[in-house]
């Protein structure tokens, strides 16, 4: 080989060696560039608590006083008035169109059903028309505990 060719091969070898060294150095892990993988371990969930026993169900039967002159029912348990408003039945804390005092002063009858008045109204109206009065001249058959019927 001639001196010029040798010099060219040496230069090429030097460049190749430097490139190889740079490539290998970049790939080699160093102490500062190493990372450690961490995995968070979640402990297993505790078994769910057994469902609580259901609360005892308290069933209260409705009881109503009916005021024929106004076609209004009063629920003594719920402290609400039930009456028709057009074609709908409503339940409200106050009667419509009459004061509580005037309503309680009117003749009334304690009815013997324990569900919705709308289910019984047709028969109640037949038995107790708007102008109904107690046959024994008593004002009504309610007890004298009017305080329980006063709105809250």
pLDDT in tens, 54-69: 877 766 677 899 999 9
Q: State the pLDDT confidence band at 120, using cuts at 50, 70 and 90.
A: very high
**pTM passes above 0.85:** no
Report the alpha-carbon distance of residue 76 to residue 104 in Å, rounded: 13
3-class SS of residue 13? helix
Report the alpha-carbon distance of residue 46 to residue 128 in Å, rounded: 65
Element (H, E) at 82: strand 80-85
For strand 64-67 and strand 72-75, is the pairing parallel, antiparallel, or unpaired?
A: antiparallel
């Amino acid at each position: 080989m001639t001196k010029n060719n040798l010099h060219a091969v040496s230069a090429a070898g030097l460049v190749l060696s430097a490139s190889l060294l740079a490539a290998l150095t970049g790939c080699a892990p160093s102490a500062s560039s190493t990372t450690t993988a961490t995995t968070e371990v979640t402990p297993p969930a505790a078994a769910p608590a057994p469902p609580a026993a259901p609360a005892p169900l308290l069933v209260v039967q409705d009881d109503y006083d009916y005021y024929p002159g106004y076609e209004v029912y009063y629920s003594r348990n719920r402290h609400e008035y039930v009456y028709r408003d057009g074609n709908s039945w409503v339940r409200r804390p106050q009667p419509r169109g009459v004061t509580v005092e005037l309503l309680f002063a009117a003749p009334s009858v304690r009815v013997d059903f324990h569900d919705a008045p709308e289910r019984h109204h047709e028969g109640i109206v037949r038995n107790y028309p708007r102008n109904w009065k107690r046959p024994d001249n008593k004002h009504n058959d309610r007890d004298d505990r009017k305080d329980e019927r006063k709105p809250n």
